Structure 1
Amino acid sequence: MKTHKIIIFTTLLLTITTVYGQTYEPLDLAKKICSKVTLPNIENYVAGEYEGKPNGKDLPDGSITKFTLLGQTDKTAVVGMTVLDSIGKGFDTYLHFEKDKSWKMTAFRGLAMTGLIEQIKIELENMTPQQVDEIIEKSKKNKNDDFEMFKSREDYNFQLGNTRLTLELDENIINHFLTNQAEFDRLKNLALIELEKEKVDEDRSLELIETSKPEFNKLFISSVATGGYELGNCINFLIGGMLDNSVGYFYIKDKKDLPEMNPNRIIMIREIANGWYIYKTT
């Protein structure tokens, strides 16, 4: 009789698993959804705005995918997916998950509005030294504050490096930080000293170490600030982006103050080292 009950229970369990599908942790589920092999009953693993597309079937042939768990709580998780071609070129995306009874993917995100930045990067890359000098010379004669792409060789170098870094893979953005970590730490310490004399408004961003702009521009950082509703009391080293779609680094003293990731604002945060993180917003 006991054996008969076990057989019935096992059969019932197998039936439920077949109908409703297995349960997966976010990292495993991300790999399943973005596999070239269609995930059976994919509708059981998606919710919210994400309806199963894009998925692994939409990736270019020969693509290599790498997955990183960026964060997981009892109810939410974010997995980073890097998609590379055969020569190592690619892009980063961020898969957002929520848990009710089981984990489901709810949003697919990436840094948006990069087309114009790409165009500017290509234009800057294709300029000859003579063309750069001509634009600089023209800017010196500009008496009406008309728009100029750049006004000095340093400005040109900053804009070219900044657009390149904005569009880089996360791994390369992290490597740029690690290569220059001593200088980032020096500038961060200057910002912390300045903060001791300033009152921070939680609703408004406060620009920091503006007198050090030539120095952080050499790191391809657009601005250094703190405050505001996005990153709170983090020290924000903004690289760039378009409108609310931005990428940068931030420093935070205490992990308990770490901002939360969500698909509608801060789409990714990834720890680098010693209180430093890379982030992206949308």
Structure 2
Amino acid sequence: MNKLPLILLAALLSACAQSSLQPVMVAKKIFQVNADEKFINAHSTGDYRGSPSGRDLPADMQRSFLLLQQRGENSAVALNLRQGNLIIDKYLFFTKDSGSWKLSGIGTPTLAQLHVRKLRAMQALSEAAIDSTLREAQQYTDPEYKTREEFDFIVNSLQLKLAPDDTLIAHFNKYRPAFDNLLVAARQALQQPHDEYNSLVNTKTPAYRPLLISNITTGGFLPAQCIDFHILYDQVGYLYTPDEKYLPELRPDKVMMVRKLGRGWYLYKVAIYL
């Protein structure tokens, strides 16, 4: 007779524990090997319908999670998947519903396949084909590239743009002093009359070219208080803001990832043109 209250108490405590799980823990349970289908269904809402989940992933695929942002009833978590040389970054979006955090959407770069095809096509060109392409480019007023240096800049930028988040962060850290110098130049440019459609600073000089930044702007799809350092003009890059309160709220269909790099710097990704 005394066992029944204990069973009820255990069930109640289990239910409370489930409802109070934080977004990262919910993400881990959804994407763990042989994830519980009932748990997935109970923690799914919005555009997410229970797949993909850990049930769809190879058992030997490594999974790691990082809380990106949590504001009110919304939260974003980065999911990193690794299997051999394969590295995939996804961005999980949670909504608090009836006291529980539920997965409502997954963000992924929308133009990645287009960039992959372009990169492969450029890398497949022979030296003779590249020379021929560059000669033909001289006939046009504003081609994408006219010199081998410009051609290589685009190839290297595409490689960086398509790279895993950890590689993008390592690139920034490698050139952090140069990025800081570029920031100083951008802030100085903002004190002068400037054309909002052109880059604040010429990033193609010998000092800045290794950074692989195509242009620098403010506003647009990011708040006006952010200075945006773009990799090939859109979707992926670095930003600086004096206060994290100016960072945009993360959404799967807009700015879907912001990762802190220190001293006001962040890595960002957007889903599509906004």
Question: Letter of the aligned partner of 1:185 in structure 2?
Answer: D
CA distance in 1, matches of 2:244, 2:44: 30
> Against the structure 1 CA distance between its residues 17 and 38, is the aligned structure 2 distance closer, same or farther, given a 3 Å change threshold?
farther
CA distance in 2, matches of 1:160, 1:105: 36
CA distance in 2, matches of 1:107, 1:241: 26
The answer for unaligned runs of 5 or more in structure 1 is none
Aligned position for 2:121: 123
Q: TM-score of the superposition, structure 2-length normalised?
A: 0.87
Q: CA deviation at 1:19?
A: 7.5
- Please report the RMSD computed on the Cα atoms of aligned residues, expressed in angstroms: 2.6
Aligned position for 2:131: 133
The question of 1:164 aligning with 2:159 is answered yes
Q: CA deviation at 1:148?
A: 4.8
8 Å contact kept, 1:70–1:80 = yes
CA distance in 2, matches of 1:127, 1:84: 30
Question: Letter of the aligned partner of 1:76 in structure 2?
Answer: N
> Against the structure 1 CA distance between its residues 20 and 112, is the aligned structure 2 distance closer, same or farther, given a 3 Å change threshold?
farther
Correspondence 1:3-152 to 2 at 5 A: 8=5, 10-16=6-12, 22-23=18-19, 24-41=21-38, 42-60=40-58, 62-87=60-85, 89-100=86-97, 101-140=99-138, 142-143=139-140, 145=141, 148=143, 150-152=145-147
Cα offsets for 1:14-62 (capped at 9, x unmatched): 3456789823211111111011212252221111111111111222453
The question of 1:247 aligning with 2:243 is answered no
8 Å contact kept, 1:21–1:44 = no
Secondary structure of 2:45's counterpart equals: coil
Question: Letter of the aligned partner of 1:179 in structure 2?
Answer: K
For residue 235 of structure 1, the aligned residue among 216, 227, 233 is 227
Correspondence 1:248-267 to 2 at 5 A: 248-267=237-256
The answer for unaligned runs of 5 or more in structure 2 is none
Secondary structure of 2:171's counterpart equals: helix
CA distance in 1, matches of 2:114, 2:27: 30
Question: Letter of the aligned partner of 2:158 in structure 1?
Answer: T
CA distance in 1, matches of 2:199, 2:137: 28
CA distance in 1, matches of 2:68, 2:218: 23
Correspondence 1:185-224 to 2 at 5 A: 185-198=180-193, 207-214=198-205, 216-224=208-216
Aligned position for 1:225: 217
8 Å contact kept, 2:214–2:230 = yes
8 Å contact kept, 2:105–2:252 = yes
CA distance in 1, matches of 2:111, 2:133: 27
Question: Letter of the aligned partner of 1:138 in structure 2?
Answer: E
Identity %: 28
Cα offsets for 1:194-233 (capped at 9, x unmatched): 1122489xxxx55443434445443221210002353332
**Quick check: 114-123 or 226-235, which moved more?**
226-235
CA distance in 2, matches of 1:183, 1:18: 52
